[in-house]
Chain A
Amino acid sequence: MTIGVLVDLMLALALVGLSLRVVTGRALFRDIVLFILFGLVIALSWSRLGAPDLALAEAAIGAGLTGALMLMAYRRLVAGGAEDVAPRRRPPLLAVPVAVLTGALVALIGLAALGVERVPDAAGTIVLEELGASGLGNAVTAVLLVFRGLDTMLEMAVLLVALLGAWAVLGEVHPGRLHQVDRRTPLVGALLTTVAPVTLLIAVHLLLAGTDAPGGAFQAGAVLTGCGVLLVLTGTVRPRAAAGLATKLLVIAGLAAFVMIGASAVALGRAPMSLPGTWAVYLIETAMMLSIAVTMTLLFARARALEPERA
């Protein structure tokens, strides 16, 4: 047995063990912590599997967003009188056959997939063959923007709809209701002045590198969101009552850039959604990054808009 197999086995064991404990655990806070660790192990697994694009996204979202989001939700639950430890309940009798059947189904699909022969002209193979024509070096970015541009555009629409839905149920904004860490706390101000610019730098790097190396708009947007969350958590920015023009433009930028470039292709007599060149890729990716970052930060902060807190 080589060391590589041993590493794979340990990661698989950790993933299965952690997910079982997260699902079956009854102590709320402990399960949140286990879920955060689950995200870290997932990122390690993607790295080990040679999928750095996914590892980057998981690192940014797992480390910067989901954990913080769950801890905030925990605080609201506890403040609302929820118990940290749920009482032990007997699982319903139906659970056992459902679990067994689901397991059998997954095993069956897995076994069938092992026996499937490689199709010569599957979509993935064609993408890799045509990669040179797209002018992009990163197959993931090429698929997202060139080959499946419509899907990516609709993903941006989904994100926008999510924000509009959140705004609809938001109600009145209470500035300063989040219990935050004051940025005048020792070390926290120093952390902000170092880390916030570094996140901007990394986001732009991921965006520019994304055409030829792992990275891209989604990863860059997630990193920028991390920066936004940091500003929200330290009370550097605070919710505002209504969204101004700048916020609205930033939120729709990704979708708008896609639609305009995709539609202008039709007007110029080319195929719908075809991109006129690499500059269009950069333009759309930049717009997407900004939209993703602003939308997710607003969702995190439960706000319509954010403004700097004056000290």
Chain B
Amino acid sequence: MSPSASTLPGDWIGIALLLLGCAFYGAGTAGLLRFPDVYSRLHALTKADNQGLLLVCAGLAVLARSWRVAALLGVIWLLGLMAAAVSAHLIARHARHSGSRRTSSEERP
């Protein structure tokens, strides 16, 4: 539970950032489910999820009201950013080598 039961004005900022971050996660999932080929899905997913993680971390840092926790969240976000960048790069390269095609805009249903 948060340190105090009542919601301080600062907490509203934290909650707003957190919910905005969740919206980005939702956008990433929508991209994964709806986009036509593996590259656009990858693009939508990793980009949106990283932004989502940043906003979630920022919101939680505000809510936690602790510099130590904020620093840890910052480290987690940076490492997550790096992991996502490397994973996305490797998966895209793999897909290209194994012959996945891009779907051009005319072909889209």
- Measured CB to CB, the residues of A under 8 A from B are 181, 185-188, 190-191, 194-195, 198
Contacts and interface: CB of A to CB of B under 8 A. Distances in A.
A191 B84 CA distance: 11
21 contacts: A181-B90, A185-B90, A185-B93, A186-B89, A187-B85, A187-B86, A187-B89, A187-B90, A188-B86, A188-B90, A190-B82, A190-B86, A191-B82, A191-B83, A191-B86, A194-B79, A194-B82, A195-B79, A195-B82, A195-B83, A198-B79
Nearest to A191: B86
The 9 nearest A-B residue pairs measured at CB: A191-B86, A187-B86, A187-B89, A194-B82, A191-B82, A187-B85, A188-B86, A186-B89, A198-B79
Contacts of B85: 187
Measured as residues with beta carbon below 8 angstroms from the partner, the interface class of chain B is under 10
B50 to A, nearest CB: 15
A107 B20 CA distance: 43
Given A181-B90, A190-B82, 12 more contacts: A187-B85, A187-B86, A187-B89, A188-B90, A191-B82, A191-B83, A191-B86, A194-B79, A194-B82, A195-B79, A195-B82, A195-B83
Contacts of B82: 190-191, 194-195
Contacts of A191: 82-83, 86
Contacts of A186: 89
Contacts, number: 21
Contacts of A188: 86, 90
A194 B78 CA distance: 11
Contacts of A190: 82, 86
B63 to A, nearest CB: 16
Nearest to A181: B90
A233 to B, nearest CB: 11
A191 B89 CA distance: 12
Contacts of B93: 185
Contacts of A181: 90
Nearest to B79: A198
B8 to A, nearest CB: 21
A186 B86 CA distance: 9
A187 B79 CA distance: 13
Interface string B60-82: 00000000000000000001001
A188 B89 CA distance: 10
A75 to B, nearest CB: 13
A246 to B, nearest CB: 31
B14 to A, nearest CB: 18
Contacts of B83: 191, 195
A190 B85 CA distance: 11
Nearest to A192: B86
B41 to A, nearest CB: 15
A191 B83 CA distance: 8
Contacts of A195: 79, 82-83
Nearest to A188: B86
A185 B90 CA distance: 9
A202 B56 CA distance: 23
Nearest to A187: B86
Contacts of A198: 79
B104 to A, nearest CB: 26
B97 to A, nearest CB: 12
A295 B87 CA distance: 27
Interface centre among A187, A190, A195 (most CB of B within 10 A): A187
B54 to A, nearest CB: 18
